[in-house]
């Protein structure tokens, strides 16, 4: 079989471990030189592919690729750009396959969430219609943990660990000062429609009086009266109240509490901050002193406290993507299959992309307590293995030594193309 090149693209919000996936994929590809030529990475994701801005990863030395495993962010750049009309006549699709042909690309790896898996699925189907053979492999990545077809998503375990630890540490601070200062603390975390990250905050404590005292899930309609009664009762009982709130908290009519009335490139609602909305409610209705924090990018970029399990899985799905194309696979996502909880065991699995694309997996009712403000024992059994182990990066003079890639582009062969 003749050797062909590969394109790898990162998509959507990056994570603390997406570069570990890139590391695993590039290292594995280098051990299949008889089949795979160069791994070309799209600069800023699929936008770079369309612009023919392709990074030649063969210019990166071995140690840099190894250190990517310890480096947060997206080394080659990511983007939020959706192929809105993936048909043979669509200009973006025509351009994509022009780039494939110009650079003899036979393998396309798309590393992202639900929209990305949908794109990989459609590109695979279009390659057949356009009679241009390219094996398409979706690689899971999302801190939201909402992909179908996989037990969990690389990127989530490290966010879950960060949120659980941050909740515990902030709660100790609040408890120390609650007699004369802050009574209510709210930590806002990511999660538009699925409350997996908020659920992970529940790992901070187990007893009835241990924080977080309330978890607000997108899956449970927000009831202000019920919420305020719970906060007031908690403060009255133990002197303070710690809340973990998903950014996607909605009222009974499905309206986001923090809707900014704008959308992102994928058409998703841009949320304006649920923590200040809740804090104002506490102040106006209960007169309690509060503080809030918005974890925002910190939760998804904190590689220094990443979960070792998450790093190992992120690296493994990258290597698994290369193994899949070497075995002739196409139109699949590399999933993670849980074999058992104690001791935790898992393996990689191949999932048909049509069973993954644009399907959101939400926190099941069995994972949420009867009052909808906490997590159950079943949820703990699921979550706890994913945050286990530490995988500290190498440090120098007190700071982590993260990889610095050259990101050298290959020569362009096509005309200029305007994206968007």
Task: List active site positions.
Answer: 144
CA 233 from centroid of its chain's CA atoms: 35
Per-residue burial over 110-137, b = 16 or more CB atoms within 10 Å of its CB, e = otherwise: bbbbbbbbbbbbbbbebbeebeeebbbb
d(CA 77, CA 10): 7
- Give the containing element (helix H, strand E) for 34: none
Q: Is 257 helix (H, G, I), strand (E, B) or coil?
A: coil
| Strands across the sheet containing 241-246 | 214-216, 241-246, 184-189, 290-294
Q: Which two tokens stand for residue 223?
A: 């009831």
What does the CA dihedral 198, 201, 202, 208 come to, rounded to 10 degrees?
-110
d(CA 295, CA 125): 39
Rg (C-alpha) for the chain, rounded Å, is 22
Whether the CB-CB separation of 52 and 7 falls below 8 Å is answered with: no
Per-residue burial over 249-284, b = 16 or more CB atoms within 10 Å of its CB, e = otherwise: bbeeeeebbbeeeeeeeeeebebebbbebbbebbee
């Amino acid at each position: 079989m003749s050797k062909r090149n590969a394109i790898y693209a990162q998509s959507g919000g990056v994570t603390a471990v997406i570069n570990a996936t890139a590391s695993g994929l590039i290292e594995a590809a280098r051990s299949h030189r008889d089949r795979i030529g160069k791994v070309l990475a799209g600069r800023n994701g699929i936008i770079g592919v369309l612009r023919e801005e392709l990074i030649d990863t063969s210019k990166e030395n071995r140690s840099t690729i190894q250190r990517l495993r310890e480096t947060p962010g997206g080394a080659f750049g990511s983007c939020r750009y959706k192929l809105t009309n993936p048909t043979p006549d669509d200009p973006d699709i025509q351009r994509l396959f022009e780039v494939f042909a110009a650079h003899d690309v036979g393998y396309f790896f798309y590393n992202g969430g639900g929209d990305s898996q949908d794109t990989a699925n459609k590109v695979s189907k279009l390659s057949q219609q356009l009679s241009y053979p390219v094996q398409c492999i979706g690689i899971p990545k999302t801190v939201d943990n909402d992909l179908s077809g996989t037990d969990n998503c690389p990127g989530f375990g490290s966010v879950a660990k960060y949120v659980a630890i941050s909740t515990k540490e902030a709660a100790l601070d609040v408890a120390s000062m609650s007699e004369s200062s802050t009574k209510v603390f709210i930590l806002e975390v990511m999660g538009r429609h699925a409350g997996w990250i908020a659920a992970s905050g529940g790992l901070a404590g187990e007893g009835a009086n241990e924080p977080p005292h309330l978890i607000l899930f997108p899956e449970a309609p927000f009831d202000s009266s019920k919420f305020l009664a719970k906060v007031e009762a908690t403060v009255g009982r133990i002197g303070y109240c710690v809340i973990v709130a998903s950014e996607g908290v909605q009222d009974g009519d499905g309206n986001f509490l923090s809707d900014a009335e704008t959308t992102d490139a994928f058409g998703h609602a841009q949320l304006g901050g649920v923590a200040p909305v809740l804090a104002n409610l506490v102040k106006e209705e209960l007169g309690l002193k509060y503080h809030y924090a918005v974890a925002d990018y910190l939760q998804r970029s904190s590689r220094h406290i990443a979960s070792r399990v998450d790093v190992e899985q992120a690296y493994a799905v990258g290597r698994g993507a290369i193994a899949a194309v070497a075995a002739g696979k196409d139109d699949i996502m590399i999933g993670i299959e849980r074999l058992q909880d104690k001791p935790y065991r898992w393996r990689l699995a191949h999932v048909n992309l049509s069973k993954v694309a644009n399907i959101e997996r939400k926190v099941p009712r069995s994972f949420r307590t009867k009052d909808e403000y906490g997590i159950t024992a079943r949820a703990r059994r699921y979550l706890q293995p994913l945050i286990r182990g530490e995988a500290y990066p190498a440090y120098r003079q007190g700071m982590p030594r993260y990889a610095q890639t050259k990101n050298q582009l290959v020569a362009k062969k096509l005309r200029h193309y305007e994206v968007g």
